[in-house]
Structures are given as structure tokens and as C-alpha cells.
Amino acid sequence: MTSSTDLSNPPTPVLPQAVQDALQRGNLVEAIKLMRAGTGLGLKETKDALEAYMRGEPPPAGFAPMALPVGAPLPATVQEALNQGNKIEAVRRLRGLTGLGLKEAKDAVDAAGVGRGQAADLSPGQVRNSNGLWWWLIALAVMALGAFALLGCATKPPAPVAELAPGGKLRAAINFGNPILAVKDAASGEPRGVSVDLSRELGRRLGVPVELVTFTSAGKVVEAVRDAQVDIAFVAIDPVRGADMLQTPPYVIIEGAYLVRNDSPIRRNEEVDQAANRVVVGNGSAYDLYLTRELKAARLVKAPTSPAVTDVMVAQNVEVAAGVKQQLEADAKRVAGVRLLPGRFMVINQAMGLPKGREAGARYLTGFVEEMKASGFVAAALARHGIEGAAVAPPSKP
């Protein structure tokens, strides 16, 4: 790492080792915390800079704002707010101009030693000396170059866009078989839901267009990921599926439930696994995979898709239907003479998946999922689409 600074050719920024290690583990939240602790960056500036870095791009010029030198003159608009007695507005303007975090901006305003009492001799828009604005701009340039110097000692991770969108666009598998994740808009016919929102946000961050590839069953989605016909998918975590794809930690937790006829003698989930009972599941769904392992006596009947399980149960006079609790609740309102068993028989952890062999992409996706949970993006998407019966998954352990 060189100590000299070439203003015409600034060094390529690379993250400190501890931050890089956190990104390699796929933990973007930890990387943000480490970077902020070491540089005093604001949350948004840190996040944007790290995302740019993970895409293989240099961070923006104001990547590492630090505390201003004591006595540094303030920009004219900041000085104006102070002259008007509005310190809060002065801090807000300073953050907008420099990218400083809240504490750093406040400290800079306090360190400047200006306020209504000390600035009464200045007209709005003035700084404390005729060269103040130029001094300020030079100081910002030095701080920006210092940021690049700070980041000069490690190797860049692979750009994830090459693995997440190898064809120049992000092909996202959207499964209409799980209404918690996606549905077809009644008015436009377009896909909407939390998985659609996550796909578009990921494409925005990668800087590539998003192609939504729709499916009617989870089994078809898994096949598409296995054959690399799509780049990302939204699937339940399951050891069988894990053999054909890479998966992130969960972003949403969904309940699985049973549905029976009103006159059925079955009252509890524990009573389903009897030799006299058959259970309808969507072919290749998480419930199919789970119950194939767990049921010892009851037999499975395969419906073509998860949304069809109740209709198959009624048409073929099967004893039990199994699926997403929300879907079965809707079926109980649509179909006469059926009821849900209380509680749940399983919890489904929904994750993002991608084809095997794309480990760098998987690390990036893991960090993306953790950030989308921590930032409230997933919770907001569930609320926006009126989803009940699902919860945001807790943070995953590093």
C-alpha cells in the first residue's frame, strides 16, 4: 500500500480485510457495521459503496467522509441555516452536501463554532473568509482520496453480476403455485408479490434488466434452476432441493396446514398419519418433499400444482389436503363442506436459490437477503401485498 497520492490517477479502492472477510461470508450487514466503525460513514453511504464494490465498481468519490478539520469553514447554505438559528437544518444540509453521517455532520457543525451569536457579522450565504468555499472543496477532495487510500490493501471479490446475470439480464423464476410469494394481478395479469419485488430490487442493484419467468409449481421451478434456465428462484429450503441448487438463508417463514371435510373424524394434525388416510400434496412442492419423509402410514396423492390440492381432494374423495395455510384458508371459503385443522404441521423456510457452481453469486445473494430482512424491505413487501400467514425470517447466524 503506497503512502503517496496521485491526484490524476487515484488508486483502485479495495476493502479492509475485516470488511472483505464479512462480504466473503455473505454477511453484508456485518460488513456495513465494520466499515462504519472504521470510517464514520453514514448508513446509506456505506451500503451504496459496498454494493458498488461487490459489483466490481469503484465506490463514489465521497465514500469515506470523516470528521472535518477543526475550524473548517462551512458551505454557504449550511452557514445560512445557522445564521437563521436552525442548527437542525444546517446539519441536514451538510449531510446532503457531503454524505456525512448524522453524528459526523453534527460534530462538524459544532466544531465550526458558528451559530447565531457568532455569525451575526456575516450575511446569509457568506463563509468566514474569502477563500473558505475553495478550502472546503479542497478538503472534501483530500478526504475522498483518503478514502481510496484506506481501501488499498486487498483483492476485489468477483463481480457477482457475471454469475447472477450471465446473459446480461436477471432471469427470475416466479412461482404462482405459492400465493404468499407471487400471484397474477387481477387487472393487468402481471406477476406481483414479495418474490417479484425482491427480483426487481436485485436487478436494480446489479444494474441489469429483470426477466420474470413464471411457473405454476415449485417442482418446475426446481427443474429450471437445476438446468440453469433461470438465474434466481424463490423456493423452500429442503435437503432434496439443496442437492440441485445453492440456497440462501430464509427470508420468509410460511406455515403448512391440513384441510379436511367437515364430517371427517380427524381433529388434530397428529391424527393424519394413519393407514386409512390419503393426503393430497402439490407434486414436487415443499409439502410433498417433507411429507414423503415424515409420513409413516398415510399415503400421498399428487396434485399437478399446490393450488389444486383441495379440488383434487374433493374430486377424488381423498381424506386430507396439505399445503400453504393461506391457500387452504382461501379454499375453505371457496369450497363448501371443508375445514382447516388447527395449528400447523410444518414451518417452511423460503429462501432464494441459484444454479450450482455460482458460489460468488450465492454469497452476494446471502448478503442481499440479510439486508432485505434487516432493512424492513421484506416486511414492507408482505404488508403491501396484503399477505397474512407469513413472517419475516430472523437474521441468520454468521
Which DSSP string do the residues of 257-303 spell out, in sequence order?
EEEEETT-S--SGGGS-STT-EEEEETTSHHHHHHHHH-SSSEEEEE
Same domain, 277 and 303: yes
Same domain, 266 and 182: no
Same domain, 362 and 292: no
pLDDT interval class at 180 (50, 70, 90) = confident
Mean pLDDT of 196-210: 93
Backbone angles phi, psi at 254, to 5 degrees: -120, 145
Same domain, 232 and 366: yes
**Percent of residues, the chain, with pLDDT higher than 70:** 70
pLDDT of 379 > 60? The answer is: yes
Same domain, 265 and 304: yes
Mean pLDDT of 128-150: 45
Same domain, 198 and 269: no
pLDDT interval class at 202 (50, 70, 90) = very high
Same domain, 187 and 258: no
pLDDT at site 21? 63
Same domain, 370 and 237: yes
Residue 141 in domain: no
What pTM does this model have? Answer: 0.51
Domain count of the fold of the chain: 2
155-173 pLDDT, tens digit each:
434 448 889 999 899 999 9
Same domain, 374 and 247: yes
Residue 30 in domain: no
Mean pLDDT of 20-30: 68
318-359 pLDDT, tens digit each:
999 998 888 899 899 999 999 999 998 988 899 999 999 999
pLDDT at site 122? 36
Residue recorded with cell 464494490: 53
Distance separating alpha carbons of residues 333 and 186, to the nearest angstrom: 19
Residue 108 in domain: no
**Percent of residues, the chain, with pLDDT higher than 90:** 38
pLDDT of 3 > 80? The answer is: no
Mean pLDDT of 53-65: 52
Residue 128 in domain: no
Residue 198 in domain: yes
Structural domain span for residue 309: 253-347
Same domain, 218 and 240: yes
What are the beta bridge partners of residue 348?
254
CATH number at residue 185: 3.40.190.10
Residue 63 in domain: no
Same domain, 180 and 310: no
Contact by Cβ (8 Å): 392, 262: no
Residue 356 in domain: yes
Same domain, 241 and 380: yes
Residue 106 in domain: no
